[in-house]
Amino acid sequence: MRSSVIAVLAALVLVCLASVSHAAHLDTSFVFSTIETPNFSVHYHQGLEPVAKKAARIAEEVRNSLGDQFGWRPVEKTQLVLIDNSDFTNGLTTALPYNAILIQVVPPALDSTIGEYDDWLKVLITHEYTHIVNLDPSRGFWRTTRGIFGKPIPGADPLSELVFFLSAPPNIFLPRWWHEGMATWAETEFNGQGRGTGSYYDMVFRMAVAQNTLPRVDQVNGDVPFWPSGNLRYLYGYRFQKFMADRYGKDALGVLNLSHAGRFPYFINGAPRQFFGRSYDQLYNDMLLDLRAEQQKKIATLSSKPFTPTIILSNRGERLTNPRFSPDGSRLAYTRRDPHDHTTVVITDRSGTNQLAEFRRLPSDGSLSWSRDGSRLYFTQAEINRGFDVYQDLYRYEVALDRVTRLTRGERLSGVDVSPDGSRFVAVTSDRGSQNLVLLERDLKPRQLTSYREERVSNPRWSPDGSSVCYALRDNAGHSSLHLYRVASGEDTTLFSAPFSVDQPSWAPDGSFIAYVSDETGVFNLFAFRLSDRKSYQVSHLLGGALQPDLAPDGKAAVFSSYQSRGFLIAELALDPASFSTERGPALPLTRKRPVDLADPATAPSGNPQEPAAPAAPAATPHAPSAAAAAAAASLTPEPALPAMNGTPYRAWPTLLPHFWLPRLTGDGSDTPVLGVFTAGADVLGYQSYALSADYSFGRDRGYFDLIYRNDYCYPTYSLLAHVQPVLYDNLQQRGDYWELDQGFTAQVSYPINFLESRYLLTGGYQFEDQSALTTLSLSGRFNGLTIFRGRRTNLFAEVSFDNALSYPYSISAEEGRTVSLTYRRFAEAFGGDLDYSQLEARYQEFLRLPFGGDRHQVLYLRLSGGLADLSQKYGQQAFQIGGIPSDLNPYPVRGYPSRSQTGKFVTTGTLEYRAPLFYPMAGPGTGPVFAEKLHGALFVDAGEVWDDQNHFDSDRLKVGIGAEARLDVTLGYWLKITPALGVAHGFRAGGENQVYFTIYVNL
């Protein structure tokens, strides 16, 4: 039916437009302004003006540096969007159909891969703008086609897809390791510290060499589910680009970038052979040899002293973090992230061997805090706030009741720690790019204690007597410090500051020292700061690394998240404060580029952190920059002269207007093809989006068009769809192909209710549709004996849908949850139509993970669909058709029967399918644009029937088909994830047949 065609086209277009407007829906309380600079339009909402002015200056500086490096400066302005709608750092970039960057302005945490930095905003902008200078270039033939067509997004017909490949910037088709590796190299090269000089990256490389788990180039090229999964392309992409820059010169990266910009997509190995005589596959293997030699030297250095003995307590899962002892020391709680399952909080006995409880946890900072009596755990996790913002709140888990309760809403909390007497909480709150310490008392309303600007505050912990809080601070000059905040007086004292990472404090039970994590030795190790002598002592010497320590209540042990090459696990080491020594173990050189100011005691490289000069100002006074920050700022290159940066109200039109067009080639049943054009657009904030096609049929001497427009200024979404289009009924009721002309429009309102793991959608509207014949009919108006409807189907409609289906990295399909939808349409002459009837459709899917068998990802899939239409007349284009293979255009499939072989007023179909993994290839042809992930199979039973008033439902006529499919999850072109399937089916009842078919699924 026409509505199905419109829905599929709308979905395709809006998926493409998502690459243009990174936020399809925004918090309606945000009011955006724009700062214009010579090369950027910086868009920001209220509260972000200081960040926006800083970002504008950084962006112009970065553009100059990267333009020199890569030999390319985009002609068009780049749209830079700053938004504070998430508690998790992220950035997104696109070059289609115009250059745009989105940055979520929140300082990144230490235990993220980007948590070591000088200035986090500059690192993020450098990384994202590198994508622009890598994606934007076009040379030779592609420069010519770009001048004709612009920078398009793909269309939905073969010709527009072909022209898209021949006009889009060729570098968008490069592997993701190229894009992310180059951006990570640039963020490292053009900043004092980026990921490439961080101890986190070095830790990953070191352990991969030590435990012989270096990935093959095809695994970096593809999309593997195992650790470090999505970070592989950043880690080894960076190390690959660094290797080429070190061996062939930094200019080589720019030469390669421009070379690819003039080459046909996917033939990537020609570029390095042209310059270096070797393919990327060969160069990657050279890089691995270089990396292995580099890390073996570091391993030898670290091995010159015996490593601290540790005991592994828990290792099930991929990322086990934030261990916390219960107050009596009898239990251990930690957060477990597992690529086979949902993230959970796990409670075990003291040994870590016996699991006592487990509950699911949404995305979070991972932190945990026990109540004094050990009956409750407090934690933070994210949920969608105000419809679209992803903010963390405080929750409570009651162990005895196995019950989770939400305690706050929209407070943006992290690192929550409950006081020893259980009367209040200390936490960190994020707001407008800044983080600060807050106190929550009985009313659970945060009271801000500090006033830092655009700096990271993290991991506050109460002292054992409940009088003070220790927390970590990271400024934007590459310095970290531990602070002691006295709650009663508001006195905030800097315990020490250092030019390396210092974070994640944990108090000794007697309050005599504070354990913390630092990479002072080039490795994340545990240290202790003794309050009596104000000296720092190295507690651990590890090959991998330690994060998130917690000390046992008896003071004799510390647990921590220990890094191994396959992720993080929970480990323990013995503690003996009497044996603490200020002597440091073997150290790896820190590779920060920013020079240390030897005149500043806060940055002087000594064996111990320096004591502070004086306590910081009371909390009510904004904190001034440290001497180290001021010195570092003074050493920066002067900022480029920019005009006065005053924001003006945001305007959608500059980015909303068309930026490209593509030719179209379709058909309408005539002897000649239908030619046309296609364009689409969206403003950079996603408030408005559209897709428009216009076609002309020389065979029928008439025009067609299709328009989809969506407006998201408000909540809900308003949409308008209008069309004059030919529609093909393929082999209608086995009588041949029938072409119809559909004209009409739809006005609808959609109201999404979003949660992180479930979604509701309420939709309603008005649809006008006029159907007429393009195929020649008999004198009686029939098509091969079928009565054909010609006239207006005008209706009011309403739909409600729900979806909470979940899948995991190793899943072969959704494996838990369900999707449900119910659609009602009322056709009536009173609405301007020629028919008077009601139509109701319902669909239900259930995904059940099977508990038996050796594999954890076997799934039982159930689908039930049905519909009824009380239409009194009978037409060839009845309301429902049955038969064929499942697809978006075929909602009532029965495999083993011809597609849409019968029609009727009433329909019901069902599927029962057993799905099981067969093999995980996780392999591809080197750097080629194909990667095979998971081979799996399905056994199915389909059943269904369609009937009307003349042919009533009869179970003897129920169509039943059985069969099997072999499916392979594949990534094509480095980006497109599809599941080709080869199937066989047999229909048992009248009309059934033996089928061997090939189909392609998306998002099983």
- Decide if pLDDT at 14 tops 70: no
- The Cα–Cα gap between 166 and 138 comes to 11
Average pLDDT for 526-547: 96
Chain-centroid distance, C-alpha 605: 39
Q: Are 296 and 209 in contact (CB under 8 A)?
A: yes
Q: Are 664 and 155 in contact (CB under 8 A)?
A: yes
Cα(604)–Cα(443) distance, integer angstroms: 44
Tokens of 583: 């002597």
Q: What value does the mean pLDDT take over residues 739-756?
A: 94
Residues 417 and 413: their CA atoms lie apart, in Å, by 11
pLDDT-derived band of residue 641, with 50, 70 and 90 as boundaries? low
The CATH 2.40.160.50 portion of the chain extends over 716-1001
Query: What is the pLDDT, as a whole number, of residue 643?
Result: 57
Beta-strand ranges (E) seen in 609-714 are 648-649, 662-666, 674-682, 688-697, 702-711
* DSSP conformation letters of 910-971: EEEEEEEEEE---B-STTSSEEEEEEEEEEEEEEEEEE-SSS---GGG-EEEEEEEEEEEEE
Q: Quick: pLDDT tens for 222-272.
A: 989 999 999 999 999 999 999 999 999 999 999 999 999 999 999 999 999
> Is the peptide bond between 228 and the residue preceding it cis, with omega within 30 degrees of 0?
yes
What is the rounded CA–CA span in Å between residue 336 and residue 144?
A: 52
Lowest mean pLDDT among 96-100, 640-644, 772-776, 817-821: 640-644
Q: Is residue 116 helix, strand or coil?
A: coil
CA distance 556 to 330: 14
Tens-place pLDDT, residues 55-89: 999 999 999 999 999 999 999 999 999 999 999 99
Q: 716-1001 in CATH: which number?
A: 2.40.160.50
Report the DSSP pairing between strands 78-83 and 40-45: parallel
Residue with tokens 């989770």: 404
**Which residues are within 8 A (CB) of 34 and not within 5 positions of it... i.e. 6 or more apart?**
41, 42, 43, 44, 647, 648, 649, 650, 651
Residue 693 CB: number of other CB atoms within 10 A? 25
Phi, psi (rounded to 5 degrees) for 275: -105, -35
> At CA 90, angle to CA 84 and CA 96, rounded to 5?
100
The residues pairing with 480 across neighbouring beta strands, listed in sequence order, are 474, 498
CA distance 79 to 81: 6
Q: Count of residues for the chain?
A: 1004
Which pLDDT score is estimated for 899?
Answer: 83
At residue 471, does pLDDT exceed 50? yes
Among candidates 461, 450, 384, which has minimal Cα distance to 420?
A: 461
More confident residue, 1000 or 14: 1000
Find the range with the poorest average confidence among 298-302, 773-777, 877-881, 958-962.
Answer: 877-881
- State how far the Cα of 343 lies from the Cα of 363, in Å rounded to an integer: 8
Distance CA 647, CA 794 (A): 47
Mean pLDDT of 823-828: 95
Q: How far apart are CA 217 and CA 928, in angstroms?
A: 10
Query: Side-chain half-sphere of 704: how many Cα atoms within 13 Å?
Result: 28
Query: Per mean pLDDT, which range of 127-131, 146-150, 527-531, 594-598 is the poorest?
Result: 594-598
Task: Note the pLDDT of residue 613.
Answer: 32
Q: Give the pLDDT band (50/70/90) at residue 876.
A: low
Summarised one tens digit per residue, pLDDT across range 264-306 is: 999 999 999 999 999 999 999 999 999 999 999 999 999 999 9
Amino acid code (one letter) for 325: F
Residue 410: what residue type? G
| CATH 1.10.390 residue ranges for the chain | 20-302
Q: Judging by beta carbons within 10 Å of its beta carbon (0-12, 13-18, 19+), is residue 872 exposed, middle or buried? A: exposed
Q: What is each CA distance from 482 to 96, 459, 553, 917, in whole angstroms?
A: 44, 10, 22, 49
Tokens at residue 473, please? Answer: 């601070």
CATH of domain 312-632: 2.120.10.30
- Rounded to two decimals, the pTM is 0.92
Kindly tell me if the per-residue pLDDT of 22 is higher than 70: no
Give dist(CA 329, CA 550) in Å, integer. Answer: 11
Q: What share of the chain is helix, strand, coil (3-state, %, to 5)?
A: 20, 40, 40
pLDDT at 802 over 80: yes
In this prediction, residue 485 carries a pLDDT of 98
The Cα 42–Cα 928 span in angstroms is: 37
Across the range 26-38, mean pLDDT stands at 95
pLDDT, position 760: 96
625 has pLDDT over 60: no
DSSP H or E segment with residue 3: helix 2-17
User: Mind listing the pLDDT tens digit for each residue in 975-999?
Assistant: 899 999 999 999 998 889 999 999 9
CB of 20 within 8 A of CB of 97?
yes
- The CATH architecture assigned to 20-302 reads Orthogonal Bundle (1.10)
pLDDT at 522: 96
Minimum mean pLDDT range among 26-40, 744-758, 866-880: 866-880
Mean pLDDT of 530-542: 95
Position with higher pLDDT, 901 vs 172: 172
Q: What is the pLDDT of residue 9?
A: 40
Q: What is the per-residue pLDDT across 919-969, written as a single tens digit (0 to 9) for each?
A: 999 999 999 999 999 999 999 999 999 988 777 788 888 999 999 999 999
Tokens of 983: 């199937």
Can you tell me the distance from the alpha carbon of 883 to that of 896, in angstroms, rounded to the nearest whole number? 8
